Structure formats: C-alpha cells, structure tokens
A = this chain, B = another copy of it.
Amino acid sequence: MHDASRDYLQLFLHRLIIRSRFCDQEMQAILDLPTDAVKVAANQDFVCLGEVVDHACLIVEGIAGRFGQTEDGVRQITAFYFPGDMADLHSVVQPRVGSALQALTKTTILRISHSALRGVAARYPAVAEAFWRDCMVDAAVLSQWVVNVGRRDARAGMAHLLCEIATRLGLGTGSHAPDFAFSVTQAQLADATGLSTVHVNRTLKALAGIVTVARGSVQIHDWDRLAAVGEFEADYLQIDVVPAEPLKVIQPI
C-alpha cells in the first residue's frame, strides 16, 4: 500500500474517532486495511441496485449520493457522502444492495473488502462497535430527512439540509461559518429535498442574504438565521460526543 491510501484511511479513522475511542493498536489496524482505489466519473453508479457486494466504499474525494427511485423514474436522494464517509459500511452485514450509490461529482473511492473489515471487527470489538455506531449516525440523519421532507416547507427543508452538510463537513458553526465547497447542481438538491428544480431555484433565491449557493460552493452569511429557518439542532449528528465513561468495547457485564 502506498502513502496515498494511508492518507485516505486517515480520513476514515478521523471520522470514527469523532464518536468512538480507540487504542493505538486499533487505530493502526484501521490504517493497515488493504484498499483498492477507484476513480468514478460524475453521474456514474459505483454500486448498483440488486447487486451483492463484497466490499464497502470509502469516499475520499468528491461527493456521492444514495439514490431511491420511483417507477416513473423520479429520483430521490436519501443521503450525501463526503470524503471520510464510508458510504455503505452497512453492506458488511447486509451485502444485498438496497439502493444505488452514484458519484455526484468526479469522485475517488477506496474499496475495502468485507473480509478485511470483518477481520478488524473480530479482532477489536471496539472497532466493531464503532462501525455499528457510525451506521447508526447515518440512520439518525435519515430520520431527520424524513421530518425534513415530510413536515418542513421548502425554505426550512433547504436550510436544514445546508446546515446538516456544513456541520458534517466539520465547519465552524459559530456566527460566521466559512464558505465551503459543495458541488451539486440544483437538480440534485431537488432530488434530496423532494422538490422540483424550479422550486429549488426559487427557494435558494428566497434564502438570499442568509446563504448563497452558487458555482459549486456554499456561502453561509448568517449561520444563526439559517439554523433558525431550518430549525437545525446539531445534536443528532453526535459530533464529539464520545461517552465520558468509556463504553468502548462490547464486553461481558
């Protein structure tokens, strides 16, 4: 394995230790995972519906999305994935693919075989638990999306989504959140929020002054107002909530 892969795995490790505590050995084991880098063009599926996979995909560059679809071809994005996210870690325990993964921009992924992941999980229960926990954060996000799409209007939903992404990207959520790169089209935002592209355009315009989404980057001018409009509470993302009393291994009573 060359250095690039190791740097990439560092991203993944970084993500995990936001919410779980590891000893040196465990961290080392994760950094030693064998990987297989793959470049994916924009708008190209890299995990297809119905397939049975034997590896999980770590996003290391670009943005990926999970897609649902109705019969008439209308699409719904159910998750965004950014560098450091393992987009389908759950496939380790559920290899049958239930929804496709697609690159939203030019993306680089690191394939990591299930057997290797099972290996570390078996040797280090703390890692197994971290994997499980990480999957559950994704589920918590999904749960918020249901609320977003089901009960918030376009403005609030879009604001909430942008807040979520900014927070997940680890940006300062103080009054002056910095700009960040987020290269998605309005059509993709529409698929994520359950709106039409036309209405996404109008909604973004309605948020002018609070946030600007243009040319692949997002500028949050007033975090507090954006969070207020989107009713955003970051708790569910479980950022930096490593349990005070170490809960780190699944061990006997």
Contacts and interface: CB of A to CB of B under 8 A. Distances in A.
Copies of this protein in the assembly total 2
Nearest to A90: B136
B250 A122 contact: yes
Interface in A121-146: 121-123, 125, 128-129, 131-133, 135-140, 142-146
Chain B CB within 10 Å — which of A236, A238, A241, A250 has the most? A250
A125 B71 CA distance: 39
A172 interface: no
A227 B95 CA distance: 25
Contact of A94 (B50, B76, B238, B252): B238
Contacts of A194: 149-151
Interface residues of A, number: 62
Given A142-B139, A142-B142, A147 B250 contact: no
Contacts of A121: 250
Interface stretch (A112-120, A181-189, A197-205, A214-222): A112-120
A146 B238 CA distance: 21
Contact of A139 (B68, B96, B138, B253): B138
A136 B47 CA distance: 17
B140 A98 contact: yes
Contacts of A116: 253
A25 interface: no
Given A132-B132, A241-B96, A250 B151 contact: no
A249 B90 contact: no
Nearest to A96: B241
Interface in A204-253: 231, 235-236, 238, 241, 243, 247, 249-253
A99 interface: yes
A78 interface: yes
7 contacts: A70-B147, A78-B147, A94-B137, A96-B238, A135-B136, A149-B194, A150-B194
Interface of A: 50, 66, 68-71, 74-76, 78-79, 90, 93-96, 98-99, 115-116, 118-119, 121-123, 125, 128-129, 131-133, 135-140, 142-147, 149-152, 156, 193-194, 231, 235-236, 238, 241, 243, 247, 249-253
